[in-house]
Chain A
Amino acid sequence: MSEEQLIFKRSKALTDAYFHYCPGCTHGIAHRLIAEVIEEMDIQDKTIGVCPVGCSVLAYNYFDVDIHEASHGRAPAVATGIRRTLPQDRYVFTYQGDGDLASIGMAEIVHAANRGEKITVVFINNAIYGMTGGQMAPTTLPGMRTTTSPYGRDTALCGHPIRMCELLNTLVEPVFVARGAVTTPKYINRAKKLLRQAFELQHTGFTFVELLSTCPTGWGLTPENSVAWLERNMVPFFPLSVFREPAAMPAAATKYAPDLKVKDDAKA
Chain B
Amino acid sequence: MATAQRLLMKGTEAIAEAAIRAGCRHFFGYPITPQNEIPEYMSKRLPQVGGVYLQAESEVSASNMLYGAGGSGVRVMTSSSSPGIALMAEGFSYLCGSEIPAVVVNIMRGGPGLGDIQPSQGDYAMCTKGFGHGDKHAIVLAPSTVQEAVDLMALAFDLADQYRNPCVVMGDGLIGQMMEPVTFPEAPVKVYDKPWAATGKPPTRKHNIINSLYLDPEELERHVYHLFEKYERMRADEQRHETFMLDDAPPVVICAYGTMARIAKTAIRELRKTGVKIGLFRPITAWPFPVEALSGVVQSTKVFLAVEMSMGQMIEDVRMVVGRDRPVKFFGRPGGVIPTVEEIIHQVKLLSN
B69 and A66: CB pair below 8 A?
A: no
Q: Which of B326-346 contact A (CB under 8 A)?
A: none
Chain B residues, Cβ within 8 Å of A90: 199-200
B61 and A82: CB pair below 8 A?
A: no
Residues of A in contact with B (beta carbons under 8 Å apart): 15, 44-48, 50, 57-58, 60, 63-71, 74, 77-86, 90, 107-108, 110-111, 115
Chain B residues, Cβ within 8 Å of A58: 213, 215
Is the C-beta of B84 less than 8 angstroms from some C-beta in chain A? no
A111 and B64: CB pair below 8 A?
A: no
Chain A residues, Cβ within 8 Å of B199: 48, 66, 86, 90
With contact pairs A45-B203, A48-B198 given, residues A69 and B65 touching in the complex (Cβ less than 8 Å): no
Please encode chain B, from 58 to 71, with 1 for each CB lying within 8 Å of some chain A CB and 0 for all others: 10111011111111
Q: How many pairs of A and B residues are in contact by the CB < 8 Å rule?
A: 131
For B68, give its contact among A15, A68, A110 (CB under 8 Å). Answer: A68
Minimum CB distance partner of A66 in chain B: B198
Please encode chain B, from 213 to 234, with 1 for each CB lying within 8 Å of some chain A CB and 0 for all others: 1010000000000000000000
Is the C-beta of B76 less than 8 angstroms from some C-beta in chain A? yes
Q: Tell me if B's interface is mostly helix, strand, loop or mixed.
A: mixed
A57 and B201: CB pair below 8 A?
A: no
For A81, give its contact among B60, B76, B203 (CB under 8 Å). Answer: B76
Compute how far the CA of A47 lies from the CA of B199 in the bound complex, rounded to whole angstroms.
8
Q: Which of B193-211 contact A (CB under 8 A)?
A: 198-203, 207-211
B213 and A85: CB pair below 8 A?
A: no
With contact pairs A82-B69, A85-B69 given, residues A68 and B52 touching in the complex (Cβ less than 8 Å): no
Q: Which of B38-83 contact A (CB under 8 A)?
A: 52, 54, 56-58, 60-62, 64-74, 76
A77 and B65: CB pair below 8 A?
A: yes
Chain A residues, Cβ within 8 Å of B91: 71, 74
Chain A residues, Cβ within 8 Å of B98: 69
Compute how far the CA of A112 lies from the CA of B103 in the bound complex, rounded to whole angstroms.
23
With contact pairs A78-B65, A82-B69 given, residues A69 and B54 touching in the complex (Cβ less than 8 Å): no
With contact pairs A66-B208, A78-B65 given, residues A45 and B57 touching in the complex (Cβ less than 8 Å): no
Minimum CB distance partner of A64 in chain B: B207
With contact pairs A81-B66, A107-B57, A107-B58 given, residues A86 and B72 touching in the complex (Cβ less than 8 Å): yes
Task: Identify 8 new A-B residue pairs, CB closer than 8 A, beyond the known A74-B60, A74-B91.
Answer: A48-B200, A67-B198, A68-B198, A68-B211, A71-B64, A77-B56, A80-B54, A82-B72
For A84, give its contact among B52, B200, B201 (CB under 8 Å). Answer: B52
Chain A residues, Cβ within 8 Å of B200: 45-48, 65-66, 86, 90
Chain A residues, Cβ within 8 Å of B74: 85
With contact pairs A67-B207, A84-B54, A108-B57 given, residues A45 and B64 touching in the complex (Cβ less than 8 Å): no
- Sorted from nearest, which 6 A-B pairs have the closest CB atoms? A81-B68, A66-B198, A81-B69, A78-B68, A77-B64, A81-B65
B246 to chain A, nearest CB (A): 45
Compute how far the CA of A19 lies from the CA of B203 in the bound complex, rounded to whole angstroms.
23
Is the C-beta of B180 less than 8 angstroms from some C-beta in chain A? no
Chain A residues, Cβ within 8 Å of B208: 66-67
B209 and A78: CB pair below 8 A?
A: no
Is the C-beta of B28 less than 8 angstroms from some C-beta in chain A? yes
Is the C-beta of B295 less than 8 angstroms from some C-beta in chain A? no
Chain B residues, Cβ within 8 Å of A107: 57-58, 60-61
Compute how far the CA of A108 lies from the CA of B59 in the bound complex, rounded to whole angstroms.
11
Residues of B in contact with A (beta carbons under 8 Å apart): 26, 28, 52, 54, 56-58, 60-62, 64-74, 76, 90-91, 94, 98, 198-203, 207-213, 215
Chain A residues, Cβ within 8 Å of B72: 48, 81-82, 85-86
Compute how far the CA of A90 lies from the CA of B70 in the bound complex, rounded to whole angstroms.
16
Compute how far the CA of A118 lies from the CA of B72 in the bound complex, rounded to whole angstroms.
16
For A70, give its contact among B58, B64, B69 (CB under 8 Å). Answer: B64
Compute how far the CA of A168 lies from the CA of B203 in the bound complex, rounded to whole angstroms.
36
Minimum CB distance partner of B211 in chain A: A69
Compute how far the CA of A44 lies from the CA of B209 in the bound complex, rounded to whole angstroms.
14
A71 and B90: CB pair below 8 A?
A: yes
Compute how far the CA of A57 lies from the CA of B94 in the bound complex, rounded to whole angstroms.
14
With contact pairs A58-B213, A69-B212, A77-B61 given, residues A82 and B201 touching in the complex (Cβ less than 8 Å): no
Chain A residues, Cβ within 8 Å of B70: 81
A264 to chain B, nearest CB (A): 22
Compute how far the CA of A60 lies from the CA of B210 in the bound complex, rounded to whole angstroms.
9
Compute how far the CA of A63 lies from the CA of B69 in the bound complex, rounded to whole angstroms.
20
A77 and B203: CB pair below 8 A?
A: no
Chain B residues, Cβ within 8 Å of A78: 64-65, 67-68, 71
Compute how far the CA of A110 lies from the CA of B54 in the bound complex, rounded to whole angstroms.
16
Chain B residues, Cβ within 8 Å of A67: 198, 207-210
A68 and B65: CB pair below 8 A?
A: no
Chain B residues, Cβ within 8 Å of A44: 201
A89 to chain B, nearest CB (A): 9
A82 and B64: CB pair below 8 A?
A: no
Scoring A64, A66, A74, A84 by chain B CB atoms within 10 A of each residue's CB, the highest score goes to A66
Compute how far the CA of A247 lies from the CA of B211 in the bound complex, rounded to whole angstroms.
39
Chain A residues, Cβ within 8 Å of B203: 45
Compute how far the CA of A65 lies from the CA of B209 in the bound complex, rounded to whole angstroms.
9
A80 and B207: CB pair below 8 A?
A: no
Chain B residues, Cβ within 8 Å of A60: 209, 211
B134 to chain A, nearest CB (A): 12
A114 to chain B, nearest CB (A): 9
With contact pairs A45-B200, A47-B200 given, residues A85 and B67 touching in the complex (Cβ less than 8 Å): no
B67 and A68: CB pair below 8 A?
A: yes
Compute how far the CA of A108 lies from the CA of B56 in the bound complex, rounded to whole angstroms.
9
For A85, give its contact among B60, B76, B212 (CB under 8 Å). Answer: B76
